[in-house]
Amino acid sequence: MHRTLHSPEVAVELTSGSIVMPLDFAELFNRDAPVEIDVGCGDGTFLVEMAAQNPARNFLGIERHAGRVDRVCHKVTRFGLGNVRILRLDLAYAISCLLPSESIAALHLLFPDPWPKRRHHRRRSVTSGFVKAVHRALAPGGLFHVTTDHAEYFRQIQRLTATQFTISGEPSEFPKTKFEQHFATTGTPIYRLLLRKISPLR
């Protein structure tokens, strides 16, 4: 169903015959375990640390840029992490078409491009369609974790998720991405949502 690239058994490229089929996580990871997704995983700082801290869980990073995929593969191989896979593919397509319904425990979307100019808002990752796709893919009670440094984008995400998710009161003890580390040094406010899936898809 799949063929590997960049680094064997880490990065996965879908073949033309499987690109419309939902992922088989048991096959992809060679085991059954809860799956967490890091959407737009960048250089893999968050993904790799999460995987190292949670060996009983599987972690799938989705990233479309080849250079970033290579960097993540290098880190995963260096730390000997067998519970990480990287999917090189368009983010919206992967979330909408390749994640089986109610199949993932958590989805992390960390510092997506805010496209601050109004004429560029249509390019933002978080749309009503994206939220519906995330809701469909999450298992009951699954976690949707979003961070941004852009206040207006944060408010938009709050509005889009208000009817199908509830705010989680759990501590937000997660590894810091390079963006978050940088913003901490500059005093830039960081906006975070920890949401739990609660309502039926509408």
- What pTM did the predictor assign? 0.88
Q: What are the pLDDT digits (tens) for 149-176?
A: 999 999 999 999 999 999 887 777 899 8
What's residue 108's pLDDT? 97
In the chain, alpha helices (H): 25-29, 45-53, 66-79, 91-93, 128-137, 151-161, 178-186
Selected residue with higher pLDDT from 7 and 89: 89
Going along 15-133, which residue ranges are E strands?
A: 35-39, 58-62, 84-87, 104-110
Nearest to 129 by CA among 167, 86, 91: 91
Longest dimension (CA), the chain: 48
Would you call 70 a catalytic residue per the annotation?
no
Q: Which tokens go with 75? A: 């880190």
Q: Which residue in the list 32, 43, 113, 149 is annotated as catalytic?
A: 113
In the block, tokens 């913003």 appear at 183
Q: What is the pLDDT of residues 26-74, one digit of tens each?
A: 999 999 999 999 999 989 999 999 999 999 999 999 998 888 888 999 8
User: Which pLDDT score, from 0 to 100, does residue 7 have?
Assistant: 55
How many percent of the chain have pLDDT more than 70?
85
2-197 CATH fold: Rossmann fold (3.40.50)
Supply the pLDDT for residue 178: 84
Domain extents in the chain:
2-197
- DSSP conformation class of 176: P
Residue 130: name the closest of 119, 144, 117 by CA.
144
Q: How far apart are CA 96 and CA 83, in angstroms?
A: 23
